[in-house]
Structure 1
Amino acid sequence: MKSILILEDEPFIALDLQLAFEDDGARAVVAVNCDEAFELLRTTEIDGAVLDVNLGRSETCEPVAVELKKRGVPFLLHTGDLDRTGEALRELNAPIMAKPSGAEEVVAKLFGLHGSCEPA
């Protein structure tokens, strides 16, 4: 079973994504900030991720995105603020999905990346 990291500070969006991934046969783990995401990266083998860009309190997903890129883990950026994504995040060259997006669309997009993230 594939494990998907969801980094999302909005509880309803996180739950919607978690349920959609689980309905599609994946295990989804949720973090609300970068510290929690890094703890999950230390303890869980992650096969793919959905990262909210802006996590509140001036925190972005950038450190987690950089780590995932180093590990070769496919991820997509999920944001409601496309105009303020920032140059550093654009340089990550990751797929971006605008909020609101249906959870099923997010699942399909992530599972389609590199063909390597599809559920077992």
Structure 2
Amino acid sequence: MIKLRLSELRDTKSGHILHDVLPGDYLSSGGLSFAKRGERSHTNDGPDGRDYHIHKDCEAFIILQGNGTMEINGEHTPVTTGDIVIVEPGEDHHLNSSEDDPIVTVWCHAGLNRHKNQQQEESE
């Protein structure tokens, strides 16, 4: 896991904003997530309902609001508004939202190709 602050990102005018910390030329998937009070993400997501959630690539979480912990391989690291967490391949990860100030995040993956909605359609 890599943890940094939004203010630590290098100013960039091309590519994606996380290019220095999230491998891949283009943001390829992602979303906006509003956690419930005390919610733990990806609980029982693993094979056969096991409590395990990993990826083969890196995933970025940008904490837009709230606080909680990022649980990586069973260890909890506090996170708050303005933090960026990069989960590395193979790390079992869960975002735990605070009861008092629930987390709102943007999460994303990057890769060699653009998201299918951003790809240029082939002319017939």
- Structure 1-normalised TM-score? 0.26
The structure whose residues are more often helix, as a share, is 1
The structure whose residues are more often strand, as a share, is 2
The higher relative CO (CA closer than 8 Å, separation ≥ 6) is in: 2
- Structure 2-normalised TM-score? 0.26
